[in-house]
Amino acid sequence: MRLTMKAVGHYKYLPIDHPESLLDVEVAEPTPQARDLLVEVKAISVNPVDTKRRAAGARPDTELKILGWDAAGVVKAVGPRASLFKPGDEVYYAGSNQRPGANSERHVVDERIVGRKPKKLSFAEAAALPLTTITAWEALFDRMGISKSGRDEGKRLLILGGAGGVGSIAIQLAKKLAKLHVTASASRPESIAWAKKLGADATIDHTRPLREQMDAEAEYIFICTNTDPVFPQLPKLAAAQARICSIVRTVKPVDLAVLHDKSLTFALEGMFARSTYQTPDMQAQHDLLDETAKLVDAGTVSTTFKENLGRINAANLKRAHGRLEQGHAIGKLVLEGF
């Protein structure tokens, strides 16, 4: 007889205030294959990707969909070709959006995108880190080519959306590893204080014209908020030959010609690309999560955990989705235990 487990899922793409937007369900426990790990989920974090995939999608409404791409837990079993972990190991990871998410008691995930949980953090504190850490790390060091060993020390980085989950990690990585001068956008007193606490050298208000608030053009720009309204402003914000990366897709076509005169480089960061396309360097996410865990345990990087909303169930996940959809989140919202 196959074991069952608790999970939170949805059948229909609905607004969060609809009674069936998220449901408590019982599903079959998955079995680890190939290089999979079967993880007992202890805590999860909620990201904008969860709200977007819940509200709109292409799969049939009759199919159960389980969200959740941030988790921390304990390895219960491993697949026949797994070699990086063993049962009992404490792990944290974001997973793949090509497979069911981690809003379930137990979850299967490829070990190549899993890291060892920071020893100094609780499961809730660790669950706040993976997706945003992978996104910020890949954007800064892979997409924009910033040196994480400090060879670009003193160069200027502008982070648009500095108080959110990704921006909060990017500030720390840019300051502690790359040793850049960081300006982060934030508009409210609490978000300004959060960005400065994490190490931002300066903040600007993204509700006002941006360039007039900056001391100088930036060699690097990291867009963690809506790209469309920012794109036409990039030539004024960026230094010649600057590198720009966005994590948010454009809604409308953009004019790449505005980047030409300053020879600006524009890249997009999609942290699921490696797992979706099974790239040869897929294990880079395992490596960076392990490296981040060491940085956390050494006190170099801090968790961006902000608030624990209680047990993992449909009611509490609805609260988390609602908060994120309001667009004013600072740090990460976490749920813990079933």
What DSSP assignment string belongs to 182-218?
EEEE--SHHHHHHHHHHT-SEEE-TTS-SGGG-SS-E
Q: Which pLDDT value is given to residue 2? A: 64
Count the neighbouring beta carbons within 10 Å of the beta carbon of residue 64.
13
Q: Render pLDDT for 90-134 as a digit per residue (tens, 0 to 9).
A: 999 999 999 999 999 999 999 999 999 999 999 999 999 999 999
Helix, strand, or coil (residue 1): coil
CB neighbourhood size of 145 (10 A)? 13
Identity of residue 194: W
Angle between helical axes of 130-137 and 284-297 (0-180°, round to 10): 110
Helix (H, G, I), strand (E, B) or coil at 28: strand
Q: Pairing state of beta strands 218-223 and 156-160?
A: parallel
- State how far the Cα of 211 lies from the Cα of 221, in Å rounded to an integer: 12
Task: Give the angle subtended at the CA of 85 by the CAs of 272 and 134, to the nearest 5°.
Answer: 25
* Residues 30, 102 contacting (CB under 8 angstroms): no
Any bridge partners for residue 37, and if so which? 78, 109
Is 292:317 a contact under the CB 8 Å cutoff? Answer: no
Rounded Cα distance between 224 and 160, Å, is: 6
User: Which tokens belong to 96?
Assistant: 């793949």
Specify whether the CB–CB gap between 242 and 264 falls below 8 A. yes
Whether residue 9 contacts residue 57, with contact meaning beta carbons closer than 8 Å, is answered with: no
Tokens coding 135: 């996104």
> Which residue, chain included where needed, has tokens 């079959």?
28
Give the pair of three-digit tokens for residue 25. Answer: 């369900």
Q: What is the pLDDT of residue 58?
A: 63
| Torsions phi, psi for 220 (to 5 deg) | -135, 140
Instruction: Provide the token pair at 163.
Output: 């108080």
- pLDDT (0 to 100) of residue 62: 78
> Do the beta carbons of residue 67 and residue 131 sit within 8 Å?
no
Rounded to whole angstroms, the Cα distance separating 187 from 206 reads 6
Structure tokens at 255: 């004019």
- Strand (E) or helix (H) holding 20: none
Cα–Cα distance measured from residue 322 to residue 14, given in angstroms and rounded to the nearest whole number: 12
- Pick out the chain residues at pLDDT < 70: 1-2, 57-60
Residue 327: its pLDDT value, please?
78
Domains of the chain (ranges; CATH) run: 4-129+274-336 (3.90.180.10), 132-268 (3.40.50.720)
How far apart (Å, rounded) are the C-alpha atoms in residues 240 and 237? 10
Within the chain, residue ranges assigned H as helices are 48-55, 123-127, 130-137, 165-176, 189-198, 234-237, 273-276, 284-297, 314-325
Answer for the pair 333, 320: CB distance below 8 angstroms, yes or no: yes
